[in-house]
Amino acid sequence: MTWGRTTAQSKVTEKQATKRASGILITLLATFCFGWAPIFGKLAYRAHVSPLTLAATRTVIAAGVLWGFYLIFWRRLIPISWRDLAGAASMGAVNGIGSLFYYTGLERVDASLGQLLYALYPIWVFVFLSAAGHHISRLAVLRLGLTLLGVYLLTYAGGVTMDWLGVMLMITSGAAYGWHLVLGQWTLADVDSRTVTLYTLTAMAVTVTIARLLSGQRWEPISPQGLTVILLSGLFPTALARLMAFTGLSLLGGVQASLLGVGELLITLLMAFLILGERLTPLQWLGGGSMVLSVVLIGRESLQEIGWDELLRQGRWRELE
């Protein structure tokens, strides 16, 4: 009997390890796609596309692509209960509002500085989950500290004059994204992450489109260059990245996924170096090393420390103490 229990426990542990490894890989792929968002944003602004137009059109395109794909290949994933639809809609609304802040702020600050401020969203995830009763491990705190150090070094301002409105908009967008991650973690309890992605992105598209219409701005003609950038932005950092992000979220949980997600800053800085002509200083390379170390330390996290999300989903808050 003891041997049987040991074998069963070993299989459970192996299953958890496989789930964790898959979650990390999927989240890293999503991170790569997300890292292109500010690059495409800056390229769109160079093509004279306004922030609200970019936010609205790229999201509508992404939602349309997903609906077409689901209707052809994943029709079985379309049905959703009214309760789960409300949860997905709330996530989409929060993320939609956050994207409006993001692209409005991105127009006013450099891509690197914008990603610094936006990449602070793990702090907001920690705040929200701690308020809900989640115990944060010491290793997670250490990884967060390394991440924040890396973010600071990577985007060291060097005395450049700040656009404080742009700064506040980017910080707010990060907070909205952090809250969106926490909502997603709870919403994903019994729903396929691909279904959640479809309806969340749809709600996001509705939110940003309403905001664009209410802004009263004239719908300016979009150049071929601007249209190309919008299409790329809708496909990669919006549709594909979110599909992978929700899948990783369901496997890792909000804290783990958010800490991995700050790696998108590295992708942004690399693409900014290659495409926008930005240069990395020795301090920024040091910051990149700090963030890589933070990601490597994820492998040291005990598998038992990722079971808290199930307690949160079931509302068993007291057991977290």
Amino acid at 196: V
**pLDDT tens for each residue of 138-158:** 777 787 788 778 777 766 645
User: Is there a domain that residue 6 lies in?
Assistant: no
Domain total in the chain: 1
Calculate what percentage of the chain has a pLDDT beyond 90.
31
> Residue 302: its pLDDT value, please?
40
pLDDT higher than 70, residue 218: yes
Label residue 178 by pLDDT band (50, 70, 90).
Answer: confident
Amino acid at 272: A
When mean pLDDT is compared across 28-42, 79-93, 128-142, 234-248, the lowest value belongs to: 128-142
User: Is there a domain that residue 299 lies in?
Assistant: yes
Range of the domain at 130: 22-320
Label residue 286 by pLDDT band (50, 70, 90).
Answer: confident
pLDDT higher than 90, residue 96: yes
User: Is there a domain that residue 66 lies in?
Assistant: yes
> Residue 75: its pLDDT value, please?
94
User: Is there a domain that residue 274 lies in?
Assistant: yes
User: Is there a domain that residue 190 lies in?
Assistant: yes
- Residue of 157 and 37 predicted with greater confidence: 37
pLDDT higher than 90, residue 315: no
Q: What is the mean pLDDT of residues 280-308?
A: 62
Cα dihedral 157, 283, 125, 98 sign: positive
> Residue 244: its pLDDT value, please?
83
Label residue 56 by pLDDT band (50, 70, 90).
Answer: very high
Task: Copy the structure tokens of residue 34.
Answer: 């997300």
User: Is there a domain that residue 17 lies in?
Assistant: no
- Residue of 197 and 169 predicted with greater confidence: 169
Q: State the angle between helix axes of 254-261 and 164-187 in degrees (0 to 180), rounded to the nearest 10.
A: 140
Rg, Å, the chain Cα set: 20
> Residue 161: its pLDDT value, please?
62
Task: Indicate the average pLDDT of the chain.
Answer: 79
Provide the b/e sequence for 203-219 (b: ≥16 CB within 10 Å). bbbbbbbebbeeeeeee
How many CA atoms are closer than 13 Å to the CA of 80, on its beta-carbon side? Answer: 23
Label residue 78 by pLDDT band (50, 70, 90).
Answer: very high
Query: What does pTM read for this prediction?
Result: 0.76
When mean pLDDT is compared across 2-6, 73-77, 282-286, the lowest value belongs to: 2-6
pLDDT higher than 90, residue 256: no
Amino acid at 303: L
Spatial contact of 230 and 61, defined as CB atoms under 8 Å apart: yes
Label residue 304 by pLDDT band (50, 70, 90).
Answer: very low
User: Is there a domain that residue 1 lies in?
Assistant: no
Q: What is the mean pLDDT of residues 23-38?
A: 86
User: Is there a domain that residue 11 lies in?
Assistant: no
Inter-CA distances, 213 with 204, 216, 217, 250, Å:
14, 6, 7, 34
